[in-house]
Chains A and B, each alone.
Chain A
Amino acid sequence: MSFDPHTSSLSEDNGAGAQTLDVSLGPQHPSTHGVFRMNVRLDGETIVKLQPVFGYLHRNHEKLAEKMSWLASMPYTDRLDYLCPITNNWAYAVAVEKLAGLEVPERAEYIRVIVGELTRLANHTAFLGFLLGDMGGWGSALMYAFREREKILDLFEALTGARMMTNYMRFGGVRCDLPTGWLEKTRAYIETFPAFLDEMEQLLTGNEILLARLQGVAPLSAERAINGGLSGPVLRASGVDYDIRKVDGYGIYPRLNFRVPRGTVGDCFDRFMIRLLEARESIKLLQQAFAQIPAGPIVNPAAKQRGIKPPAGEAYGRIESPKGELGFHLISEGGEKPYRYHVRPPSLINLTLLEEMCIGSKIADVMVILGSIDIVLGEVDR
């Protein structure tokens, strides 16, 4: 019997006296985090097959970029993972800087770390809220999480003029310097953040229902996670010590002191816990950056922005975005537009093993497993 992605119908007897049922989950579903569809085949309530269907938010971002100047793509990268626009800007800037051989001034690197780690806090906070929503805990946890995320977005708005569509990085630096008083305000806010994390942790990890829904669900071995190309918190939850901030040591991360949390069995609980732990490390990074940030220029004066023409060649640049490895593969012919512009989206590639993780679980667990991977469809479909 073949599995037709376009129909979801009752399927025949599988020979063992039991029947399987095909169900189409999504694309309009409160827990798919956007327009994502899964065709699942159920035996009773157990998943026997799962086929993800992509493309509902596809807009051929890569083709658009080939038609525009190098700088004009920068605001479009905001729309990839729209929860973390600043890290998208950063990854694109890093790739172009590799391609053109541009240096970044020290102050700009510190600003990048500060806004990047704030983005990580905002993302992981939102993740915690969404995950609870996926488990049926609508409202409460999400409101706590979004309250804090909104405060971080206020800081972004003060800095860049926009809550989410920040368009903040430039080749060889950042677009504008920190406004007067911004650093003090941010520092004061970050001092309150550990208390919020404590509260959230107490609220969540002490909850028996949450533990029952997460512990032992969809464990993933380190070997499978690596082969499946998983990256970021999902990879580290399986016990793999791999953080691009440490491995590539881009920017000023080698100067800063932080740990890379890891999980043990890679189940949904590990994937949940690792975000809480990473958020605490981000606070440490922010505090060091606040203490060390020097005065100076915020953009490399030799770097052209409009009309930049990187020399012919290609480069692959990547950073550790809150969702995983965000990379850009760029090919230049020396012109004012890219010849090829490719995004390596962590959200899409982290779904590679979704079927493997879901098979054998109950249908109610699918949403929790998907939530624990943490995807954004703007990046999956591009």
Chain B
Amino acid sequence: MIVLTPETVLARIQTALPGARVELVNNPSPCGQHSIVVHCEDALQVAEFLKNDPELLLDFASNVSGVDYPDHLEAVYHLFSIAKKHGPITLRMRTGDRDQNVTVPSLTSVWKSADFQEREAFDLFGIRFEGHPDLRRLLMWDEFVDYPLRKDYVAPDDYEYEPTPHGSIVEKSQSHLSSVAHKTSSPNA
């Protein structure tokens, strides 16, 4: 019986999967929920190990959230074990940047509970989950452009008004449209 801490989990991963690129990220908060960052290419292998290892048995991927950082996006998984009644272990995957390399592997094949939540992170952050069985927008409509939970998202300021041919309202609407013009190519393509 091991005491479940991120450090012991990390050590177990490194023993069992020597090639896997994993590292510990310190969380300065008093709750001390440190995270394990796993390299995207090793993520599926590590996830399978965490779920099936007899000492860990992290069979319950409770929460999946996306986070937008200035230079990359993250998918964060909070894992618990129902069999062992321990957790959470925080697992993170990082994208290369916020524009072109926004793909991380989907863990839905390991934990079905990630299905809708990965769709939500795709919908609101634009993280692309490779291998997801049905990666569509979840909450926004399919034709929607852009990702609302990103920090640089520009909220439309014209939908409260009927566009009229007069003055400041048209100007405001046009300035908004030109500020998002570069985003009009479909992100879902």
Which residues on the A side are within 8 Å of B148 (C-beta)? 60, 63
Q: How far is the CA of A331 from the CA of B149 in the complex (A)?
A: 14
The answer on a CB contact under 8 Å between A226 and B29 is no
Q: How far is the CA of A58 from the CA of B148 in the complex (A)?
A: 12
Q: How far is the CA of A35 from the CA of B85 in the complex (A)?
A: 35
Which of B63, B88, B113, B149 makes the CB contact (< 8 A) with A352?
B113
Q: A72 on the interface (CB 8 Å rule)?
A: no
Q: A240 on the interface (CB 8 Å rule)?
A: yes
Q: A278 on the interface (CB 8 Å rule)?
A: no
| B32-66 contacts to A (CB < 8 Å) | 33, 59-63, 65
Which of A55, A242, A314 makes the CB contact (< 8 A) with B138?
A55
**B1-37 contact mask (Cβ, 8 Å, vs A): 1 or 0:** 0000000000000000000000000011111010000
The answer on a CB contact under 8 Å between B60 and A229 is yes
Q: How far is the CA of A255 from the CA of B22 in the complex (A)?
A: 39
Minimum Cβ distance to chain A for residue B160 (Å): 15
Which residues on the B side are within 8 Å of A327 (C-beta)? 62-63, 78
Evaluate whether A55 and B60 lie within 8 angstroms (CB atoms) in the complex, with A62-B149, A99-B31, A315-B29 already known. Answer: no
Which of B76, B113, B149 makes the CB contact (< 8 A) with A329?
B76
Which of B59, B76, B139 makes the CB contact (< 8 A) with A54?
B139
**A254-276 contact mask (Cβ, 8 Å, vs B): 1 or 0:** 00000000000000000000000
How many residues in B have their beta carbons less than 8 Å from beta carbons of A?
Answer: 37
Q: A340 on the interface (CB 8 Å rule)?
A: yes
Q: How far is the CA of A55 from the CA of B115 in the complex (A)?
A: 16
Q: A311 on the interface (CB 8 Å rule)?
A: yes
Chain A, residue nearest B51 (CB): A227
| A283-326 contacts to B (CB < 8 Å) | 310-318, 325
Q: How far is the CA of A332 from the CA of B153 in the complex (A)?
A: 20
Minimum Cβ distance to chain A for residue B150 (Å): 10
Q: A342 on the interface (CB 8 Å rule)?
A: yes
Q: How far is the CA of A45 from the CA of B18 in the complex (A)?
A: 53
Minimum Cβ distance to chain B for residue A51 (Å): 9
Which residues on the A side are within 8 Å of B159 (C-beta)? none
Minimum Cβ distance to chain A for residue B134 (Å): 9
How many residues in A have their beta carbons less than 8 Å from beta carbons of B?
Answer: 46
The answer on a CB contact under 8 Å between A226 and B82 is yes
The answer on a CB contact under 8 Å between B85 and A348 is no
**A44-70 contact mask (Cβ, 8 Å, vs B): 1 or 0:** 000000000011001010110000000
Which residues on the B side are within 8 Å of A98 (C-beta)? 29-31
Minimum Cβ distance to chain B for residue A236 (Å): 11
Q: How far is the CA of A313 from the CA of B34 in the complex (A)?
A: 9
The answer on a CB contact under 8 Å between A349 and B82 is no
Which residues on the B side are within 8 Å of A312 (C-beta)? 28-29
Chain A, residue nearest B83 (CB): A226
Which of B27, B62, B116, B124 makes the CB contact (< 8 A) with A325?
B62
Q: B140 on the interface (CB 8 Å rule)?
A: yes
Which residues on the A side are within 8 Å of B88 (C-beta)? 316
Among B29, B115, B116, B148, chain A packs the most CB atoms within 10 A around the CB of B29
Among A5, A314, A344, chain B packs the most CB atoms within 10 A around the CB of A314
Q: How far is the CA of A317 from the CA of B137 in the complex (A)?
A: 27
Q: How far is the CA of A305 from the CA of B113 in the complex (A)?
A: 35
Q: How far is the CA of A54 from the CA of B141 in the complex (A)?
A: 9
The answer on a CB contact under 8 Å between B62 and A318 is yes
**B66-89 contact mask (Cβ, 8 Å, vs A): 1 or 0:** 011000000010100010010010
The answer on a CB contact under 8 Å between A227 and B112 is yes
The answer on a CB contact under 8 Å between B139 and A316 is no
Which of B29, B59, B116 makes the CB contact (< 8 A) with A349?
B116
| B102-149 contacts to A (CB < 8 Å) | 111-117, 124, 137-142, 148-149
The answer on a CB contact under 8 Å between B140 and A58 is yes
Minimum Cβ distance to chain B for residue A262 (Å): 13
The answer on a CB contact under 8 Å between A313 and B27 is yes
Q: How far is the CA of A100 from the CA of B30 in the complex (A)?
A: 7
Q: B90 on the interface (CB 8 Å rule)?
A: yes
Q: A142 on the interface (CB 8 Å rule)?
A: no
Evaluate whether A55 and B140 lie within 8 angstroms (CB atoms) in the complex, with A311-B29, A329-B78 already known. Answer: yes
Q: A211 on the interface (CB 8 Å rule)?
A: no
Evaluate whether A247 and B31 lie within 8 angstroms (CB atoms) in the complex, with A228-B113, A316-B90 already known. Answer: no
Which of A62, A227, A315, A342 makes the CB contact (< 8 A) with B31?
A315
Which residues on the B side are within 8 Å of A351 (C-beta)? 116
Which residues on the B side are within 8 Å of A229 (C-beta)? 60-62, 111-114
Q: How far is the CA of A318 from the CA of B149 in the complex (A)?
A: 22
Give me 15 A-to-B residue pairs in the complex whose CB atoms sit less than 8 angstroms apart, sorted by A's number. Answer: A55-B137, A55-B141, A60-B149, A99-B30, A101-B30, A226-B59, A231-B62, A242-B82, A313-B30, A315-B33, A342-B65, A344-B65, A344-B78, A352-B113, A352-B116
- Given A62-B124, A98-B29, 7 other A-B residues pairs in contact with their CB atoms under 8 A: A226-B60, A227-B112, A229-B61, A229-B114, A327-B78, A332-B29, A342-B65
- Which 8 A-B residue pairs are closest in the complex by CB-CB distance? A229-B113, A313-B29, A101-B30, A342-B65, A55-B139, A344-B63, A98-B31, A58-B139
Residues of A at the B interface (CB closer than 8 Å) are: 5-6, 54-55, 58, 60, 62-63, 98-101, 224, 226-231, 240, 242, 247, 310-318, 325, 327, 329, 331-332, 340, 342, 344, 348-349, 351-353, 381-382
